[in-house]
Chains A and B, each alone.
Chain A
């Protein structure tokens, strides 16, 4: 009798719990899990949605097609080099900003707001502002000419177009990680610095031997999130190249390529296969990072 009632109670508790979760489950299910499984399904099909709707099972053909698709390789290469360039710089820049803010500074709150501004600004708006800065007669070229260097055709020259996006991306994402580092910095007890100072350690030594090791978890987080973010770069290269990924495929990223195949060529099957490939790449890269990080932990 008691057992039955407790079982009933448990069931009711569980049911209540799931009821609480229901809105989230519904929202996530519709907008996250369903699309994920649907794109897995699509990636094995040749899909025609416009006109006569048809799904034709093609097995792994969409994936083997990638090997011969030059633009897919260019996109992957662009994306990887973007991540390789942006992530270290944005992490270093974020640490620098955080250390500056953590110092006993006047008008600290003012600087906090100024530093964080790029992150709260919409990236579409930022891209448009930067397109003016990068204009051949824009601010950046004027500054370069003023200090005696020659300017570039930042948006039109394949050699520098991606660099322009990299610079902008570092500038706009670093402040977000700055906040993470700032929180980590404030967790470091002052007594550690004090004792180091008594031992005669200078500011640089304290930074290298105390600050950096102690914010390592934050660094790991910043690097992982940075890599995921950079691998999914879409909006900035989309706006800079008006959706084309040009000039000469120099700003073509994997996410942009997926968009082009899906919505310009209406080849949803192949686009889904590319998306699955991108997810796999990100997962592998993250796993490698985790392994590296865990190894250091053992040491």
Chain B
């Protein structure tokens, strides 16, 4: 009896082990399968040779945007019937997920990359240089130069920008009329004066701030540069506590702590500037193109206009945000991946993708064709492209940014002096950068 049960158990165990190893083997088989198809294709260089699947990863967006991307991908699949696109949405902590997947060898073939993370990934040598794939028809010169440069290192392109946005000033027309302001402010001094007029209090609680501001580096980098300051130097060390940088940042914090005419979204229970603006809790915000479809669908009756950001120290400035499609260096089907990238950032694909105004085209020809430079709301955003500061500053920017944000919020809330807070943030960032070397 004993013996029998032992044998049964043993055979059960064996079965389980066999099953497990079989699973492992299967996986191996499919891997080598796709590898074969990739290598088979390369010498042929003929897209019609075999059916391949390219994975494309990106972060989530509104359902309307998602539909538009799916439409663009469908157009691609009709044009290249042998290439199937497997589109994956990474819902949260996009860069953490992408990096982890790249480490595990499970990275997507093509993925979104924000300009601000680009230097870090290029340094790690995990992106495929794209210059070798570019054909004359692709027409690189057609792109807005600063947006292409954001994904270049030592003259080599690692990605092509899919779209971009700068920051523009969104202002509430009704609030302006109520306060007797006829034209949007064009200088920072005017903005300060208008914001005080626009701020509304009930009792001692502010129900509407004149100016809604995001106290974070991504939105304040151009303020650091307004008086000649720099976020970091050539070695990647933080330098945002210099007197020049503080001069610009002081303008931002003073409006909150001295004038009491600006506030951050959380102070009025909003998640971000667009929401704050839509709810009528701020009369002016600096936001990008992404806020337009958001306001359109959530706050239909809001009467607002856009204008270029007010000048600081007599010069124009704003931020530019751009995202590119890049290729995984370990991709097994690089030809097909390039076909996808070249279609999505090419004239045809970009036209579909930017046709509804969720994103602005980085190609001059597409922008002209779609007429965004004459659009009532978007012309201010397009105009900023020529003088904008791209949101990028070397591979140490993530460390610099997290330390800046941490301390800047604190000083913005009035808990510490700007100079001390920035000095502390700069020191901590530089210590971390040195320790990580």
Please report A residues at the B interface, Cβ cutoff 8 Å: 12, 16, 19-20, 22-23, 49-52, 65, 68-71, 135-138, 153, 155-159, 243-249, 260, 263-267, 270
B177 CB–A CB distance under 8 Å: no
Supposing A264-B96, A264-B398, A267-B436 touch, asked if A246 and B406 sit within 8 A by C-beta, the answer is: yes
Pick from B6, B10, B405: contact of A246, CB below 8 A.
Answer: B405
Complex alpha-carbon distance, A12 and B269, angstroms:
68
CB <8 Å contact, A70 and B413: no
Selecting from B66-74, B158-166, B365-373, B427-435, the interface stretch reads: B427-435
CB <8 Å contact, A156 and B409: yes
CB <8 Å contact, A247 and B410: yes
CB <8 Å contact, B13 and A22: yes
CB <8 Å contact, A153 and B266: yes
The residue on B at minimum CB distance from A266 is B99
CB <8 Å contact, B6 and A12: yes
**Interfacial chain B residues near A260, Cβ < 8 Å:** 402
Q: Mark B125-138, 1 if CB is under 8 A from A, else 0.
A: 11000000000000
Please report B residues at the A interface, Cβ cutoff 8 Å: 6, 9-10, 13, 16, 93, 95-96, 99-100, 102-103, 124-126, 264, 266-269, 398-399, 402, 405-407, 409-410, 413, 415, 428, 431-432, 435-436
CB <8 Å contact, B10 and A19: yes
**Interfacial chain B residues near A71, Cβ < 8 Å:** 428, 432
Supposing A156-B409, A248-B407 touch, asked if A50 and B124 sit within 8 A by C-beta, the answer is: yes
Supposing A50-B124, A71-B428 touch, asked if A265 and B398 sit within 8 A by C-beta, the answer is: yes
The residue on A at minimum CB distance from B434 is A68
**Interfacial chain B residues near A70, Cβ < 8 Å:** 428, 431
CB <8 Å contact, B409 and A153: no
CB <8 Å contact, A157 and B103: no
Complex alpha-carbon distance, A156 and B402, angstroms:
15
CB <8 Å contact, B413 and A249: no
Complex alpha-carbon distance, A3 and B93, angstroms:
64
CB<8 Å pairs between A and B, sample of 7? A22-B13, A69-B435, A136-B267, A153-B266, A156-B413, A246-B409, A248-B410
CB distance from A43 to the nearest CB of B (A): 15
CB <8 Å contact, B93 and A243: yes
Supposing A16-B6, A19-B9 touch, asked if A50 and B103 sit within 8 A by C-beta, the answer is: yes
CB distance from B213 to the nearest CB of A (A): 13
The residue on A at minimum CB distance from B103 is A49
CB <8 Å contact, A52 and B399: no
CB <8 Å contact, B268 and A69: no
CB <8 Å contact, B268 and A137: yes
Pick from A69, A156, A265: contact of B399, CB below 8 A.
Answer: A265
The residue on B at minimum CB distance from A132 is B269
Supposing A50-B126, A70-B428, A70-B431 touch, asked if A248 and B267 sit within 8 A by C-beta, the answer is: no
CB <8 Å contact, A265 and B410: no
CB <8 Å contact, A19 and B267: no
Pick from B99, B409, B431: contact of A263, CB below 8 A.
Answer: B99
Complex alpha-carbon distance, A68 and B432, angstroms:
9
Pick from B9, B16, B269, B406: contact of A136, CB below 8 A.
Answer: B269
Supposing A157-B413, A248-B409 touch, asked if A51 and B126 sit within 8 A by C-beta, the answer is: yes
**Interfacial chain B residues near A265, Cβ < 8 Å:** 398-399, 436
Supposing A49-B103, A244-B406 touch, asked if A263 and B428 sit within 8 A by C-beta, the answer is: no
